[in-house]
Amino acid sequence: MSTPALETKFPSIGTTIFTVMSALAAEKGAVNLGQGFPDFDCDPKLVEAVAEAMRKGLNQYPPMTGVPVLREAVANKVEALYGRKYDPAAEITITAGATQAIITAILSIVRAGDEVIVLEPCYDSYVPNIELAGGKVVRVPLTPRTFRPDFARIAAALTPRTRAIVVNTPHNPSATVWTREEMLQLQDLLAPTGVFVISDEVYEHMVFDGQLHQSVARFPGLADRAFIVSSFGKTYHVTGWKIGYVAAPAALTAEFRKVHQFNVFTVNTPMQHGLATYMADPQPYLQLPAFYQRKRDLFREGLARTRMALLPCEGTYFQCVDISGMSRMKEAEFCKWLTTEIGVAAIPQSALTVDGDDQGIVRFCFAKKDETLRTALERLAKL
C-alpha cells in the first residue's frame, strides 16, 4: 500500500512563526514574550460561573447561533459602548474563537476570483483564509514604521473585483489604534462601492492613554457592510477557551451562519453560560485598559534602558521595538539570537507580511505577570 500523492493547497506555508518561536523558547528556557497569551489566571468568578453551569447540567449542544443569554449580553455591551443596537437573535453569532469567526466571514462572502484587501503587516490567518475561499489577496502596506492606513494606496487597490477589506484595530502587531478620522475616511472611501468590511477588533478593550476604541459599530456606513469580530479569550484572559463572536447586519449574519453551521456548528455550552453570567458586571472589561496600560508602562520603562528603540504602543498587549540601530541582523535572525543567547523570545514583524518585508522591528507581548516582565527586562538589560 502507498499513500496517494497530495498536492498541497498551501505550498508556501509551513509552521507558524508563533509555534516556531514558542518551541525555541521552551528548548532554551527563555522567557516567552513571543506568542500573545497571558501567563496569569483569569478571574476565579469566571471559572466558578462555568463550573456552576456544568453542575446545572448545561452540557449538551446549545443552539447553533449561541445561547440566547450570551448573545443578548453581547448585544447590550456593543450598544452601551458603541451606540449601535444589534438584534441578538438575528445579528449576533457566538464562534469558536476569533480565528474561526474570520475564516467563516471570508468563506461566507468571498467567491472564486474575488479580491480581498489586507493591510500588512497583519495577523497570519487572513491570507490563507482568503486563498482557501478561492479569493485573490491584494496586499496594501501600512505606512512604514508608523503603521497608519494609507488611504491613497487603499483607494488605488480598489477594483470592480474587490469583495472585501480586512481591517484590524487595535492592530496586531504594531499596537497602533485607528482614529475616528481614519474610520471616517474609510467610510467615505467605501461609500460608493459594494465592498464588505471584516473588522478584527479582538483587542477592543485594550486602548490606552484615554483614547476610545473606534469600533466599526460606531459608523453606520461601515457597520451596515461589516462583520465585526471580537474575542472573549482576549478580554477575559482565557485564550485557550477559543470563544468569540461576530456582530453583523441580519442579511450578512444569515450568510455567515450558513457556513458556521457546517464548519463548527456550535460552541462549548457551559462556557457560554458562564460568560453570560460573568458579563452581567461590565467592570472587568471596563477596567482592562488601565490594567494593561500599567503593564505597558512597566515594560516600556525597562526597555527604555536598552539599545532598542521603542515604537508607540497605543493599544493591544504588544510592544514593538526598532533594532536597526543596534544590530545588522535580519529580524528573524535577531529573534532567534535573542531567544538563544539572551533568553527572551520575540516575534519578527516580517513574519506577518507575505514578502517578509524587513524593517528591523520585532514584537514583544507584555500580557504577563509582573515578575515575568521583570525577569525578561533583567535579561534584556544586557543589550
Domains of the chain: 17-42+286-380 (3.90.1150.10), 44-282 (3.40.640.10)
Q: What angle do CA 180, 183, 185 make, to 5 degrees?
A: 110
Return the closest-CA partner of residue 383 out of 349, 344, 351: 344
Helix residue ranges per DSSP H, 8-111: 17-28, 44-55, 68-82, 97-109
Residue with cell 462556557: 271
pLDDT tens-place string over residues 312-338: 999 999 999 999 999 889 999 999 999
pLDDT tens-place string over residues 211-236: 999 999 999 999 999 999 999 999 99
Q: How far apart are the first and last CA of the chain?
A: 56
Average pLDDT over residues 245-265: 97
Q: Is the pLDDT confidence value at 355 over 80?
A: no
Number of alpha helices (DSSP H) and beta strands (DSSP E) in the chain: 15, 13
pLDDT at 353: 83
pLDDT tens-place string over residues 141-163: 999 989 999 999 999 999 999 99
Q: What is the mean pLDDT of the chain?
A: 95
Lowest mean pLDDT among 178-192, 272-286, 334-348, 352-366: 352-366
pLDDT tens-place string over residues 45-80: 999 999 999 999 999 999 999 999 999 999 999 999
**Residue 115, C-alpha cell as written in the block:** 479580491
313 HSE (CA, 13 A, CB side): 28
Contact 162, 115 (CB under 8 A): yes
CB atoms closer than 10 angstroms to residue 136: 15
Question: Please, which pLDDT band fits residue 1 given cuts at 50, 70 and 90?
Answer: low
Q: List strand residue ranges (DSSP E) for 257-317, in order.
A: 309-310
Total residue length of the chain: 383
CA distance 1 to 8: 21
3-class SS at 311? coil
CA distance 313 to 105: 29
pLDDT at 357: 77
CB atoms closer than 10 angstroms to residue 244: 25
31-32 and 92-95 as β-strands: parallel, antiparallel, unpaired?
unpaired
**67-71 long-range Cβ contacts below 8 angstroms, 24+ apart:** 67/94, 67/269, 67/272, 67/273, 67/276, 69/273, 69/276, 70/94, 70/272, 70/273, 70/275, 70/276, 70/279, 71/245
Residue with cell 445579528: 91
- Neighbouring residues of 263: CB distance < 8 A, sequence distance ≥ 6: 100, 103, 104, 107
Higher model confidence: residue 177 or residue 3?
A: 177
